[in-house]
Amino acid sequence: MTRNDYHAYSMVVGRFQPFHNGHMDVIRKCASESDHLIVGIGSAQYSHHPENPFTAGERYLMIDNSLTDAGITNYSIVPMEDLNRYSVWVAHVVSMSPPFRRVYTNNPLTRRLFEEAGFEVRASPLYNREIYSGTEIRRRIVAGEEWRSLVPKAVSEVMDDIDGVGRLKDITGGGDNAPLRSRGPAGAPQEGRQDRLHRRVVHRGPDRRRPYSGPRIVGRLPGRRHRLFQRRQDEGPRGEGADSDGPWSRVGGHRQGDGRRGQEPSGHGYGDSGHRDSRSGRGGPRQACRPRLHSRGGRPQDSRVAQRVRGEPRRRQNEHGIHFFGTARGAVEGSIMRGGRFDSQASLFGDEGQGRIMQATVGVAGCGALGVTLVTVLAEAGVSRFVLADQDYPEIADLNTQFIYAMSDPRPKAQIAAQWITAVNPLAELEVHAERFDEGTKTMFDCCDIIADCLCDPKASAVLSDYAAERGKAVVYADVCGFKGRVAVSAPGSSSIGEIVGKVEPYAEPRSNVGAAASAIASIQALEILRAISGAGSANAGRLVEFDLKSMKSSTVE
């Protein structure tokens, strides 16, 4: 049989946790259109976890018995482990399965990868994901609700044989205190991962191989330009004298006065995280500014995160069963300072300088090649207050320089970066703008002490420079192209970034970038910011420094 003889051999991949009637409808349709159908069991290496409770062998039995009962015979079942390298993922799948030339999927990344490899790609048949969902079935099992009508009879029998109900309840603590879901290692693009609302998650920290038990997340999807929390004065200690929602009072796009607190309209199934923004007012009571996520792109995105920090947490529970934690920030900062986290840099900045670093608010314009390294370095150094602005979404061409993103994540870069920051620094408080800094959004950086220009766009940088000069704010500018980069520091009151950068020619477009060069320039930019906010001052104020990383030389433009 030649390669072309397999043109009607097809593949469909899913996690099947568990296999349900929606999966059955898809496979029945795909099998009817194919000479032979290969059913790939994704995430085959995972089991005994709230999101992946069943082993690959158990899922194999569920599928095989169900298809046999349905009279379907033209199929093979192949377990497949996830692979966190998209460039070779198709080759990995091909090496694990019989030959095939057609793929059924509704995942945009999976479609692109297979099309680029020369495969025929067709849309998977649709089914009601609100009813037939592995997440919903697992929830029903844990809650003791009826679930057997949603799965083939053979699946129920396998579940009984392996005590699947008991296992799920054991690994989730019975439902009321279920451990948070872990995304686990970023593997093959999975069908339906972005089609879940109100998920409880442990999001990935800097080490993507392990779940991070920091901020707890609830998916939210109101309309654009939606303000999630209102600014208000806390009355007395946290939780005392406050309204029924405590410090997590919500407004805008939420139903109020109908007996249900903060119920939001449902929307598209984007998984997400959100971020908390709170600042202490000078000379007055603490003022809490709750997270805001803005968008002009028309795609729904918004979310909420409750920070969990060391100390004595005060526990709250919202209507979705998610526990929010709050601790007096000053006590936590002092505990971390005394705990020695920053001892290695205290000799450089001093205790007072380190305190300034932890109290400063840094605006970051652009969460691309420069921005991802910048926010990581600043968060590691103790910067705890950020305002992020970037309207873009991850693209496959970005992944060599922007290491915190994955193509399977449908969220804006700014939102993903905010989640990353909270993983690096649990004290982080953030304001997230999924929009570009321009004439209509100047006020987003009003609360910032210093602004990082990571835009790599001369026109946008000029607008930012004018805004900063008008408001008297310091800006640290950076740009990179290939093995070359530049960093400039404004001197408020004397020279703006626009005046300094205007002395050199902008880099030619389109650009070629390498991640190591972008990280090196962003690290220098971060160091200038740390020196400025710590009070140490910068020797480069009012100057631009050019770096040639290929020859390891630098030059200064006054």
Structural domain boundaries in the chain: 3-175, 201-212+325-557
pLDDT at 544 over 70: yes
pLDDT at 519 over 90: yes
Phi-psi region of 22 (alpha: psi -120 to 50; beta: other; left: phi over 0): alpha
pLDDT at 506 over 50: yes
In the CATH hierarchy, which top-level class contains the domain 3-175? alpha beta
Backbone angles phi, psi at 35, to 5 degrees: -70, -35
285: preceding bond cis by omega (within 30 degrees): no
Domain 3-175 and domain 201-212+325-557, same fold? Reply is yes
pLDDT at 508 over 80: yes
Position with higher pLDDT, 337 vs 403: 403
Alpha-carbon distance 426 to 216, whole Å? 11
pLDDT at 316 over 60: no
pLDDT tens figures, 184-198: 333 444 433 333 322
Mean pLDDT calculated for residue range 473-477: 94
Q: Which residue has the tokens 């692109």?
A: 112
pLDDT at 50 over 60: yes
Position with higher pLDDT, 397 vs 147: 147
Whole-structure pTM value: 0.47
Tokens of 402: 């922007």
Question: What is the structure's pLDDT at 301?
Answer: 37
pLDDT tens figures, 257-288: 333 333 333 333 333 333 333 333 333 333 33
Question: What is the structure's pLDDT at 525?
Answer: 96
As its CATH architecture, domain 201-212+325-557 has 3-Layer(aba) Sandwich (3.40)
Tokens of 107: 């995942």
Alpha helices in 117-254 (DSSP H): 134-143, 153-162, 164-171
User: Above pLDDT 90, what percent of the chain?
Assistant: 38
pLDDT at 21 over 70: yes
Question: What is the structure's pLDDT at 82?
Answer: 86
